[in-house]
Chains A and B, each alone.
Chain A
Amino acid sequence: MKKLLILLLLISSTAFAGAAQPLAEDVALEARLKALSQELRCLVCQNSTLADSNAPLAEDLRKEIRVQLRAGKSDKEVVDYLVARYGDFVRYRPPVNNSTALLWFGPFLLLIIGSFVLYRVLKKHAGNDEIKGEDG
């Protein structure tokens, strides 16, 4: 009985040792996982990140990312892995390419058009003031 107890204690202590072992390396890894999953979209609930989502798919993907990071993959390799499967939509920051050019540069285009229209209107008004000035 005593022997059994000691044996049990031994087993449990080794089990705990196994569970408690992940320390510094895993803290860094978890931090990377968190940073990375905040940049990635959960495709099930599209307005939340992989980090925030409780969807089973998000859980699976976090697990998969953790495995890949542990295997020494870089952040870029992990993102590429997901983009190859789910498309650019999985990234919260869309990359600059042909299909997103309008998204990235459209606002500047509008700004230029707006400035031009404003310039024309102001110039016209300035002209009107002058005429008024002559009248008065």
Chain B
Amino acid sequence: MNRMAKFLIPLALFLVAVGFLAKGLFLDPHEVPSPLVGKPAPIFQAPILGEAGKTFNSADLKGQVWLLNVWASWCGACRDEHPVLMEMAKTKQIFTYGLDYKDTDQAAQAVLLAHGNPYQATVTDADGKIGIDFGVYGVPETYVIDKAGVIRFKQTGPITDEILFTKIVPLLKELQR
């Protein structure tokens, strides 16, 4: 019995260590949990892309469930995500607003012209100040904001079909109730 324990205890400890390391392998160190999830989204006002003189005020969206998608023309992963956003727009039930992060208006408009415009409106954030308030550190990023203006979910990196159907759509259904 004692002899068995001598083998089994180190073996058990080893297996626990292997378990932790294996879990570590499948974690993405770039995914930092946002402290803003569960907190009110920062209120911001900024010019709307392509509509000179018009200003977007995020406070106007109170009472609506909406998505804020942070993107830029210089962001390669945003192009990967673009078809998924177009798919979402086609449902006419998901309202996505774009935040054009550290970009020029011309370049951004060219992208929307070439690939389609999935946004209700795109807000420009040329100096990245709004991005800082949202804790943006890698585009694309997407925030799901509920009727009370609280951030309920953050996706860092492109939205894939899997994330859309397993996370975003169920959450939106729950929030829109």
- Verify if B134 is at the interface (C-beta below 8 Å from A): yes
Q: Which 3 A-B pairs have the closest CB atoms?
A: A43-B137, A85-B135, A87-B35
Give complex CA distance A120, B139 in Å: 55
Q: Contacts A43-B137, A56-B102 hold; do A85 and B29 have CB atoms under 8 A apart?
A: no
- Verify if A105 is at the interface (C-beta below 8 Å from B): no
- Verify if A92 is at the interface (C-beta below 8 Å from B): no
Nearest Cβ distance between residue A63 and chain B, in whole angstroms? 9
Count the B residues whose beta carbon is within 8 Å of the partner chain — how many?
Answer: 17
List, in ascending order, chain B residues with CB within 8 A of A43's CB: 32, 137-138
Name the CB-closest residue of A to B39. A84
Residues of B within 8 A of A (CB): 29-30, 32-36, 102, 127-128, 132-138
Q: Which chain A residues numbered 72 to 95 have a C-beta less than 8 Å away from chain B?
A: 83-89
List, in ascending order, chain A residues with CB within 8 A of B30's CB: 46
Q: Are B138 and A44 in contact (CB under 8 A)?
A: yes
Q: Are B35 and A86 in contact (CB under 8 A)?
A: yes
